[in-house]
Structure 1
Amino acid sequence: MPKMPRVSKAALAKVVTAAVKRKAPAKHKLAEEFPSGEILFDVAKGQWKLGPVIGKGGFGLIYLATDDLRAPVDKHAQYVVKIEPIDNGPLFCELHFYQRAAKIEMIDSWVQERRLRYLGVPKYIGTGRHEKNGRTYRFMVIQRFSTDLQKLFVKSQTFLPRTVMALGLRMIDALEYLHENEYIHADIKAANMLLGYKGAKIAQDEVYLVDYGLAFRYSVDGKHKEYKEDPRKAHDGTIEFTSRDAHKGVCPSRRGDFEILGYCMLQWLCGRLPWEDNLSDPDYVRDSKIKYMRNIPSLLKACFPGRDHPDAISSYLSLVVKLDYDEKPDYKQLRKILLDGLHKMGCKDEWKLHLPPSGTISTTPIITKVQRKRKSPLPQDDSGEPSFVPPKQRKTTSKVVRSPVPAVMTSPRRRKVASPGKTKPPKTLSNGQIDLSSVSWAARSPSADVKKTKSATGPKRTPTKRRVKRSRKPEMDAAIQTTPGLKRNR
């Protein structure tokens, strides 16, 4: 019997490791695109008519939809439908959150009890399954929203401090509701914040926290999840905003949500976080966050080099960093910090977001020539005062400027001279200039306002005047141009 070749322990260990190594999770399958007019039936036997695709993600597609089957789905539809193959997981996780914590009656009751204008959490409308070409799909119906804040942030680079404080207040409202219903969002960022959509118009002062694909139930029957680090789950979420707990693989918590929101507000204020220079290295990002959160002043100095920053963001981060893993945040105190920040800026309405509608913030109003000509109202700043004062306009008039010096002009319309009698024509000297002593006082008088010389008995057009008008000699033009009170013929 032949001898078996010897195998080193190192080689054997590699073989065993490869055998027991887990397979990588399969990529999510994309749903095929359904034609406009496709009808879906939810579990409550409601019918939904699909319109065009308005979004696409790793889980599937998003369609405009309506519950009115008689009319086509237009661009002003009030609902959207998310569809993915039933084997995929993100929509399944999101759907569980909506069914448990985002029912219409639950949100309406919360808003009424706390006297809010609205709550930035989408309302769950319906769900169901759909068969197409031998495949089964899961779908969910929610209310429609408008553009996301990331598009506005990319164009404007930063948000106004009052905008950041107002957005933070609305997110605190949403997070308090989620936490009271035992859920964590875990992926707060501008791309997951959408403006409202009402009556075919964008609701500029309403913002909603969406995308609950990473939503996590941190407490079951009142028992909080234990703090346990798991390297296999490390760095979950969006790398630049991920909490320190998530970097270590710890289950999401309430303090993690507020830490992520703090990073978002910080980026909106300064434009770039200190660790964004190397996002490809998760360990570097984690270590940077741990270092800076131990020393909040150093973090603010790195974000605002040589610049002032709102005191509210410093107070907010200082309060969040003191929270324990399973501690309930003081929502009232967090809200008060941002409210005080707004009041210091002179903002009284906390519900006004002051977002740039076009994605740009103009700091220098531009007054065009057309605006000056039409005397358009001047742009105003926040205090209601004009932010730009144009130079004084030069008055123009069709009247001849009166002067004690005689003005010899030609015009198709002629007036009578105020003094009676025939006006003597002025004499012309040998050098081509006019002899002022020969001009009658009536022609010099300011009351004459002469555009022509004409009397009741005299000719309609005097030879001297005719010669002045028709003269094309350069020396004559120069004499008229340089003589005070005379205007060059045109």
Structure 2
Amino acid sequence: MSDLLKLRSATYFQCHTSTAAYNLKRKKKILICNNTKIYDRYVIEKVVNGGNYGQIYLAVDEKANKKNLILKVVHENYEPELLIMEKDILMKLRGKPNIPLILASGTYKDYAYIGLERLGKNMSEIRNLQKNKIFSPISVVKIALQAMSALELLHNNGYLHRDVKPENLVIGGSSSSISIIYLIDFGMARKYLDVNGKIRRTRKSVGFRGSMRYVSIELHKRCIELGEGGLPWKTFINEDDILEKKLTSKPHELCTKLPKTFGDFGLNIGNAPFFENVNYQKLYKILNSTFSKTEMDKHLFEWANRASIYTALKSRRIP
């Protein structure tokens, strides 16, 4: 249930990364220089994200009509298993709805890489560009339905994402896919089903992974509740204060500006036992009851008619 608790976070947040510019003054080492050609095929155009050991590049595939793609590159000495996990999951789910298409994988010098289809901005970035920094309730429902569909697919294949947040929900990278929501970044995923399809026993000690703001009960004994356009604990620094606020905040109390179904959705996720199979159909039913099918079909996302703005990739940095 931890992934769905985090989806609940993203849902209440109304709705590939920090919008801060990639700053060379921060002494971040460029792993692969611009115009580098990898195996006489992929030409690096620019870095769009990264740190000292892993970076994300916009590249061109010269053997595929100069098609743009994203290359995720990790140094072989810096947790390459995270990239391997992501590659394995993306290969297993290749061609499925709401999942990025993997186009390449391999090694180059001291680095491992995977190539992905180019996507657009994430939900956090897009939300911050909206008036009052919120989405309409009907947009939130449509975002949540697509995100939950991706999570259901991932869970049915035996994996937990473990880092569900608005930054890891992105739109398509073209005008034809701008209304499709993609779940990204599977590096922290974990296999949660055993060889018999049963849920694996919980571990006694687990190192923290993910984002403190969205971490769920099962991962760190925290109940995730996000407000409308912001988090009640977003200014907190002390972990105990964050925990206390999360545990005392109730779904319906956080959704005063949203339809009642948002609180119902949160309660159904939060009350489900860890070892119980997720009743996805019940959750879909709750969300779909918020608006009529006609309303849902007619509604366009706030970004739908501004493809050039929301699909553009600028140079960015991950701290």
- Under a length normalisation based on structure 1, what TM-score does the superposition of the two structures give? 0.51
Q: Which residue of 2 aligns with 1:39?
A: 37
Distance 2:140 2:64 in 1: 43
Q: Which residue of 2 aligns with 1:182?
A: 158
Q: Which residue of 2 aligns with 1:155?
A: 129
**Structure 2: runs of 5 or more not aligned:** 1-26, 308-319
Per-residue CA shift, 1:212-263, capped at 9, x if unaligned?
A: 2211111231232223453x625x32112110121149xxxxxxxxx76xx4
Distance 1:92 1:281, change over 3 A: same
Is residue 166–residue 350 contact of structure 1 (8 Å, CA) maintained in 2? no
Is residue 152–residue 356 contact of structure 1 (8 Å, CA) maintained in 2? no
Distance 1:351 1:213 in 2: 33
Match of 1:98 among 84, 87, 97: 87
Q: Which residue of 2 aligns with 1:81?
A: 71
Structure 1 position 169, deviation (Å): 0.1
Distance 1:122 1:175 in 2: 13
Structure 1 position 30, deviation (Å): 6.7
Q: Which residue of 1 aligns with 2:214?
A: 241
Per-residue CA shift, 1:163-194, capped at 9, x if unaligned?
A: 11000000111001110111111111111122
State how 1:461-472 maps to structure 2 within 5 Å.
Answer: none
Per-residue CA shift, 1:416-448, capped at 9, x if unaligned?
A: xxxxxxxxxxxxxxxxxxxxxxxxxxxxxxxxx
Say which SS state the counterpart of residue 178 (structure 2) adopts.
strand
Say which SS state the counterpart of residue 288 (structure 2) adopts.
helix
Q: Does residue 303 of structure 2 align to residue 348 of structure 1?
A: no
Match of 1:326 among 275, 279, 288: 275
Is residue 81–residue 142 contact of structure 1 (8 Å, CA) maintained in 2? yes
Counterpart AA for 1:284: D
Distance 2:60 2:165 in 1: 29
Distance 1:193 1:348, change over 3 A: closer
Counterpart AA for 2:218: D
Distance 1:323 1:218, change over 3 A: same
Counterpart AA for 1:124: I
Structure 1 position 48, deviation (Å): 2.2
Match of 2:234 among 262, 267, 276: 276
Of 217-226 and 330-339, deviating more is 217-226
Distance 1:318 1:144, change over 3 A: same
Structure 1 position 308, deviation (Å): 4.5
Is residue 166–residue 351 contact of structure 1 (8 Å, CA) maintained in 2? no
Q: Which one scores higher on RCO, CA 8 angstroms, separation ≥ 6? A: 2
Say which SS state the counterpart of residue 338 (structure 1) adopts.
helix
Distance 1:70 1:174 in 2: 28
Q: Does residue 169 of structure 2 align to residue 193 of structure 1?
A: yes
Say which SS state the counterpart of residue 258 (structure 2) adopts.
coil
Q: Does residue 55 of structure 2 align to residue 66 of structure 1?
A: no
Say which SS state the counterpart of residue 243 (structure 2) adopts.
helix
- Under a length normalisation based on structure 2, what TM-score does the superposition of the two structures give? 0.76
State how 1:424-443 maps to structure 2 within 5 Å.
Answer: none
Q: Which residue of 1 aligns with 2:310?
A: none
Is residue 162–residue 354 contact of structure 1 (8 Å, CA) maintained in 2? no
Distance 2:170 2:159 in 1: 20
Distance 1:217 1:318, change over 3 A: same
Larger radius of gyration: 1
Q: Does residue 300 of structure 2 align to residue 300 of structure 1?
A: no
Is residue 183–residue 216 contact of structure 1 (8 Å, CA) maintained in 2? yes
Structure 1 position 154, deviation (Å): 2.1
Distance 1:127 1:163, change over 3 A: same
Distance 1:78 1:160 in 2: 32
Distance 1:340 1:322, change over 3 A: same
Counterpart AA for 1:66: V
Say which SS state the counterpart of residue 191 (structure 1) adopts.
helix
Counterpart AA for 2:144: G
Q: Does residue 163 of structure 2 align to residue 169 of structure 1?
A: no
Tell me the C-alpha RMSD between the 2 structures. Answer: 3.0
Distance 2:78 2:117 in 1: 22
Q: Which residue of 2 aligns with 1:310?
A: 259
Distance 1:336 1:169, change over 3 A: same
Is residue 123–residue 167 contact of structure 2 (8 Å, CA) maintained in 1? yes
Say which SS state the counterpart of residue 317 (structure 1) adopts.
helix
Per-residue CA shift, 1:375-420, capped at 9, x if unaligned?
A: xxxxxxxxxxxxxxxxxxxxxxxxxxxxxxxxxxxxxxxxxxxxxx
Per-residue CA shift, 1:52-109, capped at 9, x if unaligned?
A: 22222464222222332598x6xxx4311111211111x531332332x3227x443x
Counterpart AA for 2:81: F
Match of 1:288 among 240, 245, 267: 245
Distance 2:184 2:299 in 1: 19
Count of aligned positions: 278
Counterpart AA for 2:154: L
Identity %: 21
Say which SS state the counterpart of residue 102 (structure 1) adopts.
helix
Distance 1:160 1:59, change over 3 A: farther
Per-residue CA shift, 1:249-289, capped at 9, x if unaligned?
A: 9xxxxxxxxx76xx4xx44xx122222241x1122222322
Q: Which residue of 2 aligns with 1:386?
A: none
